[in-house]
Each structure stands twice: as C-alpha cells, then as structure tokens.
Amino acid sequence: MITLGSLAFNGPFLAPLWSPPKSAGLYAVLVPGWRLLTFRALHFGQAELFDAELLKAHPRHPEWLTIAGTDWNLYIATHEMSFSTPAQRESAARELARTSPACARCSLRRRCATHRTNSSPC
C-alpha cells in the first residue's frame, strides 16, 4: 500500500510481474527513488479495465524505459474505482498529477500534461 496525494494505492508492484485487478480505476507509473523504499511518480492515468499490457501499450512507455533503464525498474500502483465514470477517473488522475511533487516530463525540462493545460511552469 502506498499513499499518493490523498488516495491509497495498492502496490507498488514490479511492472513485469503485475497481476491487474479486474476493475476500473487509477494507476501510477513509478520508479525507485534515491532512498530505500521511496518511489517517484512518472505518470498518473486511468483505465476502464486494467490490463497486463497497459504500460507497454502506452505511448510514453519508451520515455519511461529511458528513465528507468529497464522494465524491471518500472513499478505500477493502482487505486480501484469500481462503478466510476471515465470523467471521474480522469479528473482524479489530473488532480494527482497536479499535486505530485515531480513528474518525469518536468524533470526532463518539458511541460507535463497538467502544466501544459494549466499554463503554469514546471
């Protein structure tokens, strides 16, 4: 169990060994932090139904691999939101990204999706 924002997420789980829950919800893509048992969020997203290929099918997967070095350094954490609408999940994912201390795009000196839409600098 890991707390991201104000939500409790299951995990983090090593991405290659992850068994997805059979529900809708939010997910966080994480990499290990500099200190033991700490993680840094690279991405927050939502899914109608979690799938084992969720991360590999994502357009930003190559970027995450550049940061992590290998799939074995990528972790996923999930927050189940059964019976939620796509709009509710998308809103919650945007709020998590907005309140996250750092995101991968910011650390790469680009604007993340949240900062792009809110036009505030990283």
Give 16-37 pLDDT, tens digit per residue.
999 998 988 999 999 998 888 7
Q: Is the pTM of this model over 0.85?
A: no
Instruction: Please answer whether residues 54 and 111 qualify as being in contact, where contact means their C-beta atoms are separated by less than 8 angstroms.
Output: no
59 Cβ neighbours under 8 A, 6+ residues apart: none
- Higher pLDDT: 110 or 53? It is 53
Separation CA 42–CA 60 (nearest Å): 10
Strand arrangement of the beta sheet that strand 39-47 belongs to: 2-4, 7-14, 75-80, 25-32, 39-47
- What's the mean pLDDT in 72-88? 90
